[in-house]
Amino acid sequence: MFKDHLKYLVCPKCRTKLFKSEFEIVRHIPRFVSSDNYAGGFGLEWNKHARTQYDSYSGSNVSEKRFFEETKWPKELPGEIILEVGSGSGRFTEHAASTRAMVISLDYSYAVDANFASNGAKSNVLIVQADIYNMPFQYGSFDKLFCFGVLQHTPLPGKSFMELPQYLKTGGSLVIDVYVKKHFSRQLLNSKYWIRPFTKRLNPEILYDITSKYVNFMWPLARLFNKLSYGRNLNWFLMIADYGGKFTLPDNILREWAILDTFDMLSPAYDYPQTLETVNQWFHDAHMTFVEVHYGYNGIEARGRK
Ligand SMILES: C[S@@+](CC[C@H](N)C(=O)[O-])C[C@H]1O[C@@H](n2cnc3c(N)ncnc32)[C@H](O)[C@@H]1O
């Protein structure tokens, strides 16, 4: 943590100025929660795959494209302050930081260590371990806030969403995405929901071991299936997160993504997909303006202004 980043932190309870002696800094990261929480599987996943989804690792522009197309923010934002909630390994932190805005990037799990390894040396990035329900920032202090792939993995997605707007300045931009809840008959075809009741209770290390062995074993067959029409759907049904044909990535990277995302389907403690109506209602209840809610990256994507 850079010394002058202390000014971005406040006491999460009383919102007054914080002194260095009032919170822990472990491995350069301010920590407001212990890592022993429901997001431990994410900590494991993002440290095992600290670089897998980084464009600077895969040689693609998958994360950059998603970040700018989903936020619709300009590529240059000097002087602005962005809050990222639920950063994982920090693959989007990299692109937020490229705008030259000050980026404050938070996660509940020890994924923050992976993010720090990639982005922590940048003077316009502050990485913090804290809980969406108790963030150590001043209300009304951010120009922009994004929260990708997180809300469905929190115990109360609607409550989590309602936490976010209060940190924005008036006129500030909020962008989220969340898994889509399909009709019951289609949800039944999503095999992860049959298996999760069992797998989410497994020790993450054991589950990761099983998942990587399974994906590695199935991979040659999955490549063959991928060539058939609907073969990619078949692979997903067989619990192999297959992005072949969707993203242009080398085979070894596709396999890494498959292990990462298969584990990501099976391990989270919470997985509560949402409908367009619910997300619209969230933005309405938060009195956001210029609201756009539609199907997009990762299910449903939504934008609004405070
Ligand atoms: C699926 S990952 C998404 C990571 C990243 N946004 C991405 O798309 O690559 C979900 C992240 O949300 C974080 N998360 C879950 N509950 C949280 C909470 N209560 N507060 C903050 N982050 C949370 C997890 O630790 C995890 O890193």
Residues 32, 155, single domain; the answer is: yes
Residues 158, 288, single domain; the answer is: yes
Mean pLDDT of the chain: 95
Tell me what pLDDT residue 154 has. 98
Residues 120, 234, single domain; the answer is: no
Per-10-residue mean pLDDT, the chain, length 306: 93 89 93 94 98 93 96 98 98 98 98 98 98 97 98 98 98 97 82 94 97 97 93 94 91 96 97 97 98 95 98
* DSSP strands (E only) in 66-122: 81-85, 102-107
Pairing of strands 289-296, 125-129: unpaired
Residues 196, 299, single domain; the answer is: no
Tell me what pLDDT residue 302 has. 98
Pairing of strands 299-305, 168-178: antiparallel
Rounded distance from Cα 134 to ligand 1 centre (Å): 14
Tell me what pLDDT residue 228 has. 92
Does the pTM exceed 0.85? Answer: yes
CATH number at residue 283: 3.40.50.150
Residues 148, 193, single domain; the answer is: no
Rounded distance from Cα 11 to ligand 1 centre (Å): 22
Q: HEC states along 281-301? A: HHHHHCCCEEEEEEEECCEEE
Residues 301, 258, single domain; the answer is: no
Residues 252, 286, single domain; the answer is: no
136: nearest Cα among 215, 18, 216, 272: 18
Q: pLDDT tens across 124-137, in order? A: 999 999 999 999 99
DSSP 33: S
Residues 220, 279, single domain; the answer is: no
Q: pLDDT tens across 184-225, in order? A: 777 778 889 999 999 999 999 999 999 999 999 999 999 999
Provide the sign of the torsion angle of the four alpha carbons 260, 262, 264, 268, taken in this order.
negative
Residues 250, 175, single domain; the answer is: no
Residues 202, 136, single domain; the answer is: no
Tell me what pLDDT residue 185 has. 77
H or E stretch covering 262: helix 251-266
Q: How many domains does the chain have?
A: 2
What residues contact 297, with CB distance under 8 A and at least 6 apart? 66, 69, 70, 148, 177
* Atom number in ligand 1 closest to CA 89: 9
- Domain span at residue 261 reads 184-266
Residues 138, 232, single domain; the answer is: no
Q: Measuring from each residue's beta carbon to the nearest atom of ligand 1, which residues come in under 6 Å?
A: 39, 42, 46, 86-88, 91, 107-109, 111, 131-132, 148-150, 153-154, 264
